[in-house]
Every structure is written in C-alpha cells, then in structure tokens.
Amino acid sequence: MLPAVGASDTKGFDAYVDGHRAEFKTISKNTASAAHDRLRDANKQHVDRVYVMVRDGVEKANVEAGRDNFSRNRPNPPLQYWQVIDGGAGWSSPFQSINQPL
C-alpha cells in the first residue's frame, strides 16, 4: 500500500506529476553532499520522481557525485527518475532514470 499525500507517518510529497508521486528540490550548495541529501530527502517521502533545480555555482560533477553516493547506498530505492532544471547554474538534464549519467 502506498502512503497518501500528507499521511501522518511521512511528511508527504509535493504533487502528483503525470500520475506519479513527485518532489521538487533545490540544490544551492556546490557539494556532493547537498545533492545526496536532497535525493535522500525525496526518497524518504516515498516518491517515484524528483525534479531538482540547481542554482548558480552548482557544478554537474558534484551533483553526479551526490547521485552516485545515493544510488550506491540504495540499490533499489522507490525514487527511480529525476530531472535537473537550470536555476542559474547554466546546465540541466532531461527527465531520466536516476541511475543514468547526466
């Protein structure tokens, strides 16, 4: 059974996008741990998808390193897909599997 939006045992998630549970996160710090933490937070909210906005100064290599650390520690997480959206960093990625390189 899937948790309901805003269920008492979880913080809930932001929205349904195309029928899938989704979370919206922002990465402002240029560190791998910032990316890892946003993905971990989304995963705890039982989402299938996460949309991540990267702010100015956040490098792709650090986001990839954070994603790699997240995936290494969780071989089959509920979180399966993501998209990185340019929020001033000058780069983005298409909607894709969490396990694919950016």
pLDDT on residue 9:
43
**Burial class for 2, CB neighbours closer than 10 Å (0-12, 13-18, 19+):** exposed
The backbone torsions φ and ψ at residue 87, rounded to the nearest 5 degrees and listed phi first, read -115, 30
What's the CA gap between 97 and 80, in Å, rounded?
6
| pLDDT band, residue 74 (cuts 50/70/90) | confident
Mean pLDDT for all residues in the chain: 88
pLDDT on residue 11:
62
**Burial class for 37, CB neighbours closer than 10 Å (0-12, 13-18, 19+):** middle
What's the whole-number mean pLDDT along residues 75-86?
Answer: 87
Closest to 46 (Cα-Cα) out of 17, 83, 77: 77
Q: What is the pLDDT of residues 46-59, one digit of tens each?
A: 899 999 999 999 99
